Structure 1
């Protein structure tokens, strides 16, 4: 487990204040870390030590039990400074939510306690080669008195910084040698478990320092009490998927705000006015003022508070995701439009906003968000409960 000693956060106000202070720290050198692919080990240690990673731990287990709206705001604030760092704990919060919804009391005591002490969780969920992203080839099967995991996972965000891995597996045990029903299980296991190989091979054009590489599981032995059946969380109206999507929207909204702030600062300090504007300063160009107004409206729209009831929350989050996707991509691209030619200099690395937005928003297609919203309006059909995040 991590050697970090974590503070305890007990209120939403304190969580927001800590997030703002950390964002100010993380903003320093963010562009250089992105340019040089300098992994933010020290920054993630600071994040864990701050206590922010434990703010969703239920009160019964000693946590602050803060609501999704506060978690989303914390993530958004950090994403304005460095969206890589903001994405690293995404799965951490998601799998704490799974533990809350579907974990046994013993599992909750064990893993919530570890997180309160500073432990970090990363996902090992996505695979390649299946017909769809929902196909799971990684297996867990009986091996003597224990169970064995074999397979490979990709896009394992945060795995390079993790103490615990949440591994999505498939148990096919028709003879019930394990005593467990066949189906999908998430296995919580220490990242240094024998047979686990974490590979630093993420090479995306954006979100370059999220540690989203490959994990190979070769004969990894685990105990039954490390397995958590996920069906009750992902195939019921729990809001499990909506919570995960809300955090993705928060990251995109943070990127949009960060890009707008960078554009504003650049235009104020460096940009020259277009000669036809007839003004001495770029900030006095009426067309530029108009464009900044348009961009600010989009950024403001995606930071509005969202409802929290399950079906309505899913649709509200889908709407937020569409707006955040649009704002992140539009504003990070418009940065160059409003800042001018000098802003395209490679050494400034202002394009990291666009690369991060373009990469993170590929996570799941917003075209399907429109479908869910449209069907809800026209057919009174609730959004699906599939748990994909």
Structure 2
């Protein structure tokens, strides 16, 4: 797959307008795509061509360099329309951020210029079989005087890999003799998705987020040059806004799902629901108990959106300010909890407030709940409560987070 060429977005305001316009278009067929598992190749081409995927590229390279709070708003807007499309570029923004934090000037020019021209990055990060999700078995091994390497391993949940031009592959350096002169640890290899030895398998079969392309990617003797390797330590082993930025986007996706579900429920009740006979009203929207419930749901969504904005500002403030990173992480943890709660509650309440007719399979209103339930599994909010509680009681900052 090759980059499509892209428009240039030059301001945060322009980015919001583009995201809102795309969301309106993507919403029209979102339920149908989910029902038939229609992979959004055309929509991803449109997203890349819009320039929205290049908004975090530094101004020195021609990008708008918008802050994390703005990216979160773009993602939230997309998620109100189609949470699958909103999730696909999550890793793209994460690995653009890695290049900004840890890439050499040459690497930044090479890959971020490609992003400006419409290239899409997808992750090949997660694995199975280790003691925890943080354990990485995929290796990058030197084969020629420390300048050429090979990558071997298998990755799962590789969101966006079906639509990607570039894969960001997380691997550990396997160099027991120290031939490379590189420090041991984890590296991210940036390589073309069609590199020899790469096999992308469309085998994602989750109950939700069905069209994210989150399948398996296998690497067998994939050749990589030294200048394709970016050390991960600079981003994850020191206080940076890297982890908080990534988690902020997850919260934005869930918050967007909540708003999208509430909008769908509102439209359904206005247009199709019949009142319950005991309410003694002619329209469902005049049922006082239904009005009360919608008020409760509206507060839940508004709270999640408000805290998401607050968290975004905290992450903006933490960029280049290590002393603000812990505050940003706690703010994002709070946003993640409220977004998780809102997405799961409101997407289930769609049926509660809409009545039996809303359960018809052809409407596929269940996609809101299935998407919410699936995406919120990414990292458990019970640990967010732990980080917040320990910070309050012990004054202990949250740990640096490697699972993004």
Shorter-chain TM-score bucket reads over 0.9
In the TM superposition, what is the alpha-carbon distance from 1:2 to its structure 2 partner? 2.2
Which of these residues, 155, 175, 178, is aligned with residue 177 of structure 2?
Answer: 175
The TM-score, its normalising length taken from structure 1, stands at 0.99
Asked whether the equivalents of residues 233 and 387 of structure 1 are also in contact (C-alpha less than 8 Å), the reply is no
How far apart, in 2, do the equivalents of 1:144 and 1:104 lie?
A: 22
- Aligned equivalent of 1:9: 9
5+ unaligned residues in a row in structure 1: which ranges? none
State the Cα distance separating 1:99 from its structure 2 match: 0.6
Per-residue CA deviations over 1:325-347 (Å, capped at 9, x if unaligned) read: 00000000000000000000001
Partner of 1:133: 133
Query: What residue in structure 2 maps to residue 102 of structure 1?
Result: 102
Instruction: Give the corresponding residue for 1:229.
Output: 231
Matches within 5 A, 1:159-308: 159-304=161-306, 305-306=309-310, 307-308=314-315
Distance (Å, rounded) in 1 between the aligned partners of 2:192 and 2:16: 30
**TM-score if structure 2 supplies the norm length?**
0.95
TM-superposition CA deviations, 1:212-263 (whole Å, max 9, x none): 0000000001000000110111011101111010000000000000000000
Residue in structure 1 matching 2:340, options 321, 325, 338 = 325
Deviations 1:18-44 (A, max 9, x none): 001000110111100000000000000
Q: 2 CA distance for matches of 1:387 and 1:66?
A: 24
Match of residue 155, structure 2, among 150, 153, 160: 153
**1: CA distance, partners of 2:233 / 2:55:** 25
Distance 1:312 1:103 in 2: 26
Residue 93 (structure 1) aligned with residue 93 (structure 2): yes
Shift of the alpha carbon at 1:62?
1.0
Contact 2:330 2:387 survives alignment (8 Å): yes
Of 363, 370, 375, the match for 2:385: 370
Q: How many residues align?
A: 389
Query: C-alpha separation between the residues in 2 aligned to 1:323 and 1:183?
Result: 35
Contact 2:34 2:367 in 1 (8 A): yes
The CA deviation at 1:282 is 0.5
Unmatched segments (≥5 aa) in structure 2: 319-324
SS in 2 for 1:302: helix
Question: 1:315 matched to which residue of 2?
Answer: 330
Aligned-residue offset at 1:312: 1.1
8 A contact 2:391–2:398 mirrored in 1: yes
Q: Is the 8 A contact 2:172 2:187 kept in 1?
A: yes
CA distance in 1, matches of 2:144, 2:58: 35
> 1:141, 1:178 within 8 Å by CA — same for their partners in 2?
no
> 1:116 & 1:222 partners in 2: Cα distance?
23
Following TM superposition, the consecutive aligned residue runs of length 4 or more in structure 1 with deviations greater than 3 angstroms are none
Secondary structure (helix, strand or coil) at the match of 2:388 reads helix
Note the C-alpha offset of 1:179: 2.4
